[in-house]
Chains A and B, each alone.
Chain A
């Protein structure tokens, strides 16, 4: 694992906003690749390594391929790459659109991974210092924090089903759908119960008891944060200008 660059969560949020906005707005494939590379560099700097992230993205390969195929098949126009009789199945325009969509997904996912490198407590504090109401900041952070717990619960449930001798791969489709619908209900109930318990616990600790909230710790932007934000701004302007020129 390489060295990590310690950045303020607000700087990370700014980077995520810049990169994902560019990813959605830009259409040129070369520029999308540049944005993806920039997002990867940012994650490498903040997390020390991108191997972990690449490992996680591996799980989405099938989904990515489906996206590329759907975009390729359902986009009209362009020269046919694959034809079935008189019908164009895949066209060059469709392929470009498919790769575009794939790159956009990757940019948003890689950029969002930046926020995972920040501590939940710091994210709340950062959002509050950005004048986001503490209730909202707290909700956002809790939502992020509970995602891995939900995943663990879902994994445990699937493990428990298999440990009852059920071969998940061999269940007929209708029964499998019924099984997954069964899984969703306890997960949803568990989320609601957790939310209720958490809100009770927060109220017992006098959350929202006073109109104004003070903090023991305050985040201060460091020179490195200003430098990274300036670089991100220059990068965003340069990419936007290139996109206009190329179009």
Chain B
């Protein structure tokens, strides 16, 4: 469960983005954050992932306080997909991107291969297994970034505009992948402007605006 209680946040000394915001996001559910540009959706997502720390109030990820925890500790529970997938792909090839973190953890080669092959299949990336990441299409990069995030089996996924730049077929494929994740019991927070996508997957819709939130569109 991600619990935000009485959270206030602003960048530096700028205007308050949120004041005294309380919100709970449960596992096994798909929560969509919608709202106008600049309403604070990405900021809220980053607060939930511990990338940003609240000025006051607390954000607890499965009981872990994001203000005190190190990012890697939160990362073991939460997977975060950035708006621009390029920013979270670092290994030269698709295969290395998937095995890179497992290799850092010192996990046995055979287990690395099994896990990576499984994700390649699940995210329809077998054909580009040995391609350079910068050569991939936007949709492939998006799926690879998501697959890389999934390598740790996170309890929560926070996805920032995952459908941006995807054609309807790819959007459909992504929706199917997210439905699978939901079936696996992964809690999801999706930031989206895509109404059709939202209505298909959302268990709960939260609209952001004027520094506050409300349930529903």
Taking beta carbons and an 8 Å cutoff, which residues of A are in contact with B? 153, 156-157, 159-168, 171, 175, 179, 182-183, 185-186, 189-190, 193
- Which residue, A165, A166, A167, A183, has most C-beta atoms of chain B within 10 A? A165
Please tell me if B79 contacts chain A, counting CB pairs below 8 Å: yes
Please tell me if B76 contacts chain A, counting CB pairs below 8 Å: yes
4 closest A-B pairs (Cβ-Cβ)? A160-B88, A163-B75, A162-B71, A165-B76
Please tell me if B8 contacts chain A, counting CB pairs below 8 Å: no
B74 touches A163 (CB 8 A): yes
Please tell me if B82 contacts chain A, counting CB pairs below 8 Å: yes
Q: Given that A164-B151, A175-B104, A186-B133 are known contacts, is A157 also in contact with B75, CB under 8 Å in the complex? A: no
B92 touches A185 (CB 8 A): yes
Among B70, B71, B86, B105, point to the contact of A186 (Cβ < 8 A).
B86
Alpha-carbon distance between A190 and B74 when the two chains are bound, in angstroms:
28
How many chain B residues sit at the interface, stated as a range, is 20 to 34
Alpha-carbon distance between A162 and B69 when the two chains are bound, in angstroms:
12
Chain B residue at minimum C-beta to C-beta distance from A160: B88
Please tell me if B51 contacts chain A, counting CB pairs below 8 Å: yes
- Which residue, B87, B91, B92, has most C-beta atoms of chain A within 10 A? B87
Alpha-carbon distance between A122 and B180 when the two chains are bound, in angstroms:
53
Q: How far is the CB of B74 from chain A (nearest CB, A)?
A: 7
Beyond the given A161-B90, A163-B74, A165-B75, could you list 5 further A-B residue pairs with CB under 8 A, ordered by the A residue number?
A156-B82, A161-B101, A162-B72, A163-B71, A166-B105
Q: How far is the CB of B53 from chain A (nearest CB, A)?
A: 13
Q: How far is the CB of A153 from chain B (nearest CB, A)?
A: 6
**Which residues on A sit within 8 Å (CB–CB) of B133?**
186
